[in-house]
Amino acid sequence: MGKILWVNLTDGTTHTLSTADYGPAYIGGRGIAARIAWDAIPPGVGALDPENLFMVFTGPLSGTTAPFSGRTSISGLSPQGWPHEWFSRSNLGGHWGPSLKYAGYDGLVVEGKADSPVTLWIADDAGNKTPRVELLDAAHLWGKGVMDAQQALMGELGSDIRILTIGQAGERLSRIATVATETSSAAGQGGFGAVMGSKNLKAIAVRGSGPVYVAQPELFLARCKAIAEEARTGSRFANTELDPEHVTGFKQRWQACTQQCGMRCGTVCRFYGEVRGPATGEVLAGQFHCVSNFFPGIPDSFYDWNLGFEGGFEARHLSDNYGLNQWDLLLGIVPWLRLCGPPPRGPGLVGEVNGRAIDFDDPTFWAHLFRTIAYREGMGDALAEGGRRAPGILGYGEELAEPLYTAWGSAGHWDGHGDRGNRIVYPFWLVPAVQWAVDVRDPFSSAHGYTALTMHWSPFLNDEGLPWDTIKAVGQRIYGTEKAVDPMSDYEAKEIPAVWHGHRSVMKDSVTVDDNIFPMILSTNSEDGLARAGDMLGPDFEYHLFTSATGAGLTREEFELACERVFNLERAIQVRNFARQRSDDETVIPQFEHEEWWENPLIGEKKRLDRAKFLPLLEKYYRLRGWDLAQGRPTWSKLQELGLGDVAGELAQAGLIESDTAEPQGHGDH
């Protein structure tokens, strides 16, 4: 669209930046946000300071017919980040991002703090070239939950608007507060709801009706159709029936969780209506998304509470409405409370929350727990700081929380050690171990590709999965060695997919497309198992959509280089603002030295991380990235190679990296 909207809440002023100053060197979405963060968030700023930026970005594919392209990226300093409030990112679905583009903007940057609660209102009014941007009084919305606030705003501004908003948790600056839209789409990780709350920003409402043009419409449409067809027919994530267990009890229909979703996948696309909550008696509607499927309880597992469908659905609704991070609740706080509880599960450190006995089989207890956290009542004040910080505040159970939290304030996820719901076995969790080590948050909001390749598509999790010989042959083609995906391999070659999928993470969050679908690597449609659509190979789908939509004349290598540029820029922000170094990365190692939860059936024994083998693997990763082996920081030459000469100069002047000269090279030399 050519413009990025910048809003200063302190003085009420607005201006625009040119998107052309950032793309295609930073692609879009997450990439552009990282460049702005480098330029505008100096060291010393805290996540809840007015100087922190709250950034919401679409991608080049947002608002087009590109399949699975409705995702929206949110960035800024993260309140949830631990031990530092790192610059981080989150992501959500729904329709808000495309609507921002229809209103004429590729992204939104918010700085400062309003004197009182406000709603940011952006409206193009039937495609006007200069959209209205207003700050509306939101005092009457403050205190409302996510759903109630959206309903109130639609009553005031029209039912055709799209809204980002926070609940009571964000208003009270909970470090696990979400930014939410519609019935159940939320940027869960990062605590960005608290960033909005710290700025007195209750909601951002958008009405957009303008067009989004693409550079090569006929070619683009043909590519969209071919890729969508491959996703629908070649993916094992497709679903064909509504929930058979509950089909007679509640209204059900298919409803995509994100604009341009091209297929019915798992439980996510099932929309339930007329579900009566047992705790509140309310009649509810909505969807189970991702980790929220844990709410009812999973029999014969670590998450074996017995809340049931209705109780679980209500717990999902309540946590969404308060604006609470369900990842931290379900994989961190609730397991920690159970581990701290009475025998036989725990040592009896805690038995009640604010005078109410802990009972995770009771829907009314979940309602009580969520309210105490959202409103910071009693023990809930500590829990609102997130499950990694809460034990230190409360003074007990820290040793029980540590195994649940893999790193950086994020509960385990696809790591084989903290998370006990997503099965991954040795040697495959070595790649997540590296990815966790070098990130600032749970990396798997946009890095599922490797775990899908080695677990979901394999015989280990899927009776109809592809044979290992096929997967290894595809691994040879993608990574240059089958050792990267060989179930009988060891530490060899695991640095390669760690780097490759790190770049794909940037790619997906920047263009933007759905993480569970992209990268499309494997397929049931081809003899060799590699996804294809016409003459396009699956791993190149994002590239082909990007170039035909934008007209950017990038080669595949240049497109990949842009992803590498963003990844290194994010690392540079960590180095400059928080002195990030190798010793920080190595703090992840003890988490993986615990015995894995599941065993590789071809090996027949549970494994632990071997520090003596992992440290050389980490060095291979640094070497492949062109980073300094001693410090784990991008080198002067690597930054220059990526067109980040000004970044290299600033880091060198600060004494954070070595260089031949400390003279800055200037912004934009890429």
Residue 289, judged by CB atoms within 10 A of its CB (0-12, 13-18, 19+), counts as buried
Residue 130, judged by CB atoms within 10 A of its CB (0-12, 13-18, 19+), counts as exposed
pLDDT attached to residue 130: 75
> 118-123 and 179-181 as β-strands: parallel, antiparallel, unpaired?
unpaired
pLDDT attached to residue 447: 85
pLDDT attached to residue 666: 43
Dihedral in degrees, nearest 10, Cα atoms 601, 603, 609, 612: -170
pLDDT attached to residue 664: 41
Euclidean distance between CA atoms 307 and 359, whole angstroms: 10
The backbone torsions φ and ψ at residue 74, rounded to the nearest 5 degrees and listed phi first, read -120, 135
Is pLDDT above 70 for 238?
no
In the structure, what pLDDT confidence band is assigned to residue 509 with cuts at 50, 70 and 90? very high
pLDDT attached to residue 127: 62
In the structure, what pLDDT confidence band is assigned to residue 307 with cuts at 50, 70 and 90? very high
Tokens of 66: 């590109």
pLDDT tens sequence across 374-395: 999 999 999 999 999 999 999 9
Does the reported pTM lie above 0.85?
A: yes
Residue 469, judged by CB atoms within 10 A of its CB (0-12, 13-18, 19+), counts as exposed
CB distance 53 to 247 below 8 Å: no
The residue type at 397: G
CB atoms within 10 A of CB 344: 5
Rounded average pLDDT over 131-150: 97
Euclidean distance between CA atoms 63 and 95, whole angstroms: 9
pLDDT attached to residue 261: 82
Helix (H) or strand (E) holding 54: strand 54-57
Helix, strand, coil proportions of the chain in percent (round to 5)? 40, 15, 45
Q: Give me the chain's average pLDDT, please.
A: 94
CB distance 643 to 636 below 8 Å: no
Euclidean distance between CA atoms 586 and 594, whole angstroms: 15
Is pLDDT above 50 for 667?
no
Euclidean distance between CA atoms 94 and 256, whole angstroms: 8
Is pLDDT above 80 for 662?
no
In the structure, what pLDDT confidence band is assigned to residue 521 with cuts at 50, 70 and 90? very high
> 107-111 and 54-57 as β-strands: parallel, antiparallel, unpaired?
antiparallel
Is pLDDT above 80 for 253?
no
CB distance 262 to 547 below 8 Å: no
Q: What number of CA atoms fall less than 13 Å from residue 259's CA on the CB side?
A: 24
Euclidean distance between CA atoms 643 and 637, whole angstroms: 10
Closest CA to 262 of 235, 231, 233: 231
Domains, in order of start, for the chain: 3-207 (3.60.9.10), 235-407 (1.10.569.10), 412-522+555-634 (1.10.599)
The residue type at 25: A
Strand ranges for 236-341 from DSSP E: 251-254, 270-276, 283-287
Euclidean distance between CA atoms 30 and 566, whole angstroms: 8
pLDDT attached to residue 263: 75
Rounded average pLDDT over 137-141: 98
pLDDT tens sequence across 211-231: 999 999 999 999 999 999 999
Rounded average pLDDT over 173-182: 97
